[in-house]
Copies of this chain bind each other. A is one copy, B any other.
Amino acid sequence: MREFDESSITDAVVARMAGSRDDRTRDISEALVRHLHAFVRDIRPTPAEWEAAIGFLTATGQKCDDKRQEFILLSDTLGVSTLVDAINNPVSGDVTETTVFGPFYVPPPEFGHGDDIGTAIEGLPMLVSGHVRKAGGAAAACAVVDVWHSDEAGFYDVQQMDKTGGLAGRGRFIADADGAFHFWTRRPAAYPIPTDGPVGDMLAAQGRHPWRPEHIHFKITARGCRPLVTHVFAQGDDYLDSDVVFGVKESLIRPYVAHSGGEAGGRTMTGPWVSLDHAFVLDDKQA
| Residues of A bordering B, CB below 8 Å | 1-6, 9-10, 12-13, 16-21, 25-29, 31-33, 35-47, 49-50, 54, 57-62, 64, 69, 71-72, 75, 78-84, 86-88, 90-91, 204-208, 240-243, 246, 248-250
Contact = CB atoms under 8 A, between A and B. Distances in A.
Given A9-B79, A59-B61, A248-B2, A50 B84 contact: yes
Nearest to A29: B206
A contacts with B: majority SS = helix
- How many chain copies? 2
Given A25-B206, A39-B32, A246 B9 contact: yes
Nearest to A251: B3
B57 A61 contact: yes
A246 B83 contact: no
Given A32-B39, A45-B84, A58-B69, 9 more contacts: A4-B246, A9-B83, A10-B83, A13-B79, A16-B206, A18-B207, A28-B43, A29-B205, A57-B71
Which of A33, A87, A249 is the most central at the interface, judged by chain B CB atoms within 10 Å of its CB? Answer: A87
